[in-house]
Amino acid sequence: MNYTLSQIQSIIGGKLIGDSNLRIIGVGSINNAAPGDITFIKDEAFVDRIQKTNASAVVVHRVIDGAKKPLIVVDNPFLAFSKFLAVISKEKQKRPTGIHPTAIISKNALIGKDISIGAYVVIEDDVKVGDRVTIYPNVFVGHDSTIGDDSIIYPNVTIREEVIIGKRAIIHAGTVIGDDGFGYLQARPERSEGSPPTCRRHVKIPQVGTVEIGDDVEIGANVTIARAALDKTVIGRGVKIDNHSHIAHNVIIGEDSMLIAYAKIAGGAVIGKNVMIAEDVGVTDHAKIGDNCVIGGGSNVFKKSLEPGSIVWGSPAKPINLEKRIQALIKKLPQMMESLRELSKKIG
């Protein structure tokens, strides 16, 4: 990369203070940036680091008196810096060009304009791929599926049949969308009169539904999103799902919700809009999580519903302040036990 500060300011906005022609050749954190890099500070707590950083320029939230290097002053430095990172990220990624000769594409598939399809991709009958879609090597797209404009599908993703993916979706390597939901009935096989009882067997329920993913969704690596038994599993617009998460059959996730790594959502659960689910959370089947809820890391939601705006933590999940009190009391249990022993000796 090679940008002048003036070029960077035109990308992120704000007010430039200092040499507008200064050349920037890299980016780095405030602590680890090198000469030639640009960095940023999030807020007032990091102001003192400006004088210590080796970066050649800093994106800041206000004018810093006595700063000895150029500044770009913006309202939200982190957000502004992210805009610049998005630009250089596109430059670093080597997008496949055209359609690789080893790709297998059905004659019945509808392929949009300015498509990039990598090596050994398989696209089955009646698939619809929008304009400017990038599909990296070894991706499988099942029949009658749809991928919206400007989406990016990274290597080794499996998209099963009849899945709908919206515009500008990003799906990272190793993810599987539309695998069968884990649906079984326990039943005893028929037996003749007088014969001993037999063990119950697991009878598979055919999963004939689908998955529908909205616009601007990003799905991490090695995520599994199961198709519905009937109807559809729905991932709403703007949802972000982190690596190694599992979304079971018939789940509905509302717009702009975020699921951090190892989230486990059981079948039929309904997650509202703008919900934050932290790492390693489990949500029981058919639970209903209201809009704007926050579920703390490692929690298990066994209740069938959480009211909108709930902030919970623990296993089972409970109001966060209550869980904090419980955790504080647990730490005091050995001391309390010793006190009870001493009291028992005095009484006895």
What are the extents of the domains in the chain?
A: 3-92, 104-320
Could you give the 3-state DSSP secondary structure of residue 256?
coil
Q: What is the pLDDT of residue 93?
A: 76
Quick check: do 3-92 and 104-320 share a fold?
no
Residue stretches of the chain with pLDDT short of 70: 191-195, 197, 348
Phi, psi of 89 (to 5 degrees): -65, -40
Closest CA to 251 of 220, 282, 222: 282
Cα–Cα distance for residue pair 192/198, rounded to 1 Å? 11
pTM of the model: 0.86
Cα–Cα distance for residue pair 250/228, rounded to 1 Å? 5
Closest CA to 172 of 261, 105, 97, 107: 261
List, edge to edge, every strand of the sheet that includes 210-213.
110-111, 128-129, 146-147, 164-165, 210-213, 232-235, 252-253, 270-271, 288-289, 305-306
Q: What is the pLDDT of residue 274?
A: 98
Could you give the 3-state DSSP secondary structure of residue 83?
helix
Q: What is the pLDDT of residue 23?
A: 96
- Residue 180 CB burial class (10 angstroms; 0-12, 13-18, ≥19): middle
Helices (H) and strands (E) in the chain, counts: 3, 40
Cα–Cα distance for residue pair 131/302, rounded to 1 Å? 43
For tokens 């695998």, what's the residue?
179
Q: What is the pLDDT of residue 343?
A: 85
**Bridge partners of residue 224, in order along the sequence:** 176, 246
> Per the structure block, which two tokens stand in for 147?
């991928």
Give residue-wise pLDDT tens across range 76-107.
Answer: 999 999 999 999 988 887 777 899 999 999 99
Contact 204, 155 (CB under 8 A): no
Q: Which residues of 13-47 are buried (b: 16+ CB within 10 A; e: fewer)?
A: ebebbbeeebebebbbebeebeebbbbbbeeeebe
Q: What is the pLDDT of residue 199?
A: 77
- The single-letter code of the amino acid at 307 is E
Q: Yes or no: is domain 3-92 CATH 3.40.50.720?
A: no
For tokens 């990016």, what's the residue?
152
Q: What is the pLDDT of residue 18?
A: 93
The torsion defined by the Cα of 229, 235, 236 and 238, in degrees rounded to 10, comes to -170
Q: Which CATH number fits domain 104-320: 2.60.120.260, 3.40.640.10, 3.90.650.10, 2.160.10.10?
A: 2.160.10.10
Residues involved in catalysis: 249
**In degrees, to the nearest 5, what angle opens at C-alpha 313 toward C-alphas 312 and 319?**
40
Q: What is the pLDDT of residue 200?
A: 80
